[in-house]
Amino acid sequence: MSVAKTLSAVLLVGVVSCVAGIKLVLNTRQNPILPTNVDISSAAGFASFKGSTFSASRPTKILIHGYVDNYNSVWWLQMTAALLQAEDVNVLRLDWAESYLMGYQQASVNIITVGAQVANSIQYLTSVYGISGSKFHVIGHSLGAHVAGAIGEALKNRSIQLDRITGLDPAGPGFDGAPGAAKLELTDARVVDTIMTNGGGLGSNLAEGHLNSIKGQNLITATQCPEYDTFQQGQCTGQPRAIVGYRANLTAAGSSPLKFYS
């Protein structure tokens, strides 16, 4: 069975299981190097937030690695350091490596359960610390972008809306064609922005966020255009240009996907 069909079947029967051994690791400016581990396999693990440097007064970034990557990869450590330097935030990295040991197809299905477990953690923080969903920005790479979508999906069923999801090359195989509930889409957060540089390869070909920067050579600004061919032919000269990436102009987000090329 294809990944898309398996995902549809999983959505139909519902997800009740739990993926063991997954955790969030917390860094803040008070502990930028050594993280605090929060086991999110069960509700009991959430107690680790108490006594940690987590602060309800700061915005929270949640970083999610992709398939066969891991939360301790150099680039995630660099991103954590860069975020802490730029802003006084709580940075949580998700370690969900346990859930892809069975291969890509199983991992693609597990994202729904993993997303629900992270959603439980966020719901805990909203209820115990009184934090609004608007304080959370989830950044996911590849399969991790769809985990982010699954988090948003689970939360919107509990009337909690994430402020922002950034998808870095959301995974394509198995997801282009899958139902929206099983993948990252623009209803998963107030604003969903994507950076897509590997469409047709391991990345998605479909622009399914509010703001989608596609095939970009320039990671700072890009031009709004309906398709890449049209952009290459110069037919979008004069169209709105937007800052893309971390400092994207989120007010440009509308009710349907916008594509930006550079």
In the complex with Ca ion, which residue's Cβ is closer, 185 or 193? 185
| Shortest Cβ 153–Ca ion spacing (Å) | 4
Does residue 117 contact residue 19 with C-beta atoms inside 8 Å? yes
The distance from CA 187 to its chain's CA centroid, rounded to whole angstroms, is: 13
**Binding track, positions 123-162, relative to Ca ion; x by CB under 5 A:** --------------------------x---x---------
In the complex with Ca ion, which residue's Cβ is closer, 35 or 203? 203
| Shortest Cβ 77–Ca ion spacing (Å) | 28
| Shortest Cβ 182–Ca ion spacing (Å) | 7
Residue 100 CB partners (closer than 8 Å, separation 6+): 67, 68, 106, 107, 110, 143
Stretch that binds Ca ion, among 21-29, 59-67, 132-140, 183-191 (CB under 5 A): 183-191
> Can you tell me which of 23, 63, 118, 188 binds Ca ion, judged by CB under 5 A?
188
Stretch that binds Ca ion, among 66-74, 90-98, 174-182, 208-216 (CB under 5 A): 174-182
3-state SS, residue 202: coil
Does 208 participate in binding Ca ion (rule CB under 5 A)? Answer: no
DSSP count for the chain of H helices, then E strands: 5, 11
> Can you tell me which of 185, 207, 212, 258 binds Ca ion, judged by CB under 5 A?
185
Task: For residue 242, give the H/E element and its range.
Answer: strand 241-243
Token pair recorded at residue 24: 């969030």
Q: Which amino acid, 177?
A: G
In the complex with Ca ion, which residue's Cβ is closer, 91 or 122? 122
DSSP one-letter string for 218-235:
-SSEEEE-S-HHHHHTTT
Q: For binding to Ca ion (CB under 5 A), which residues are involved?
A: 149, 153, 180, 185, 188
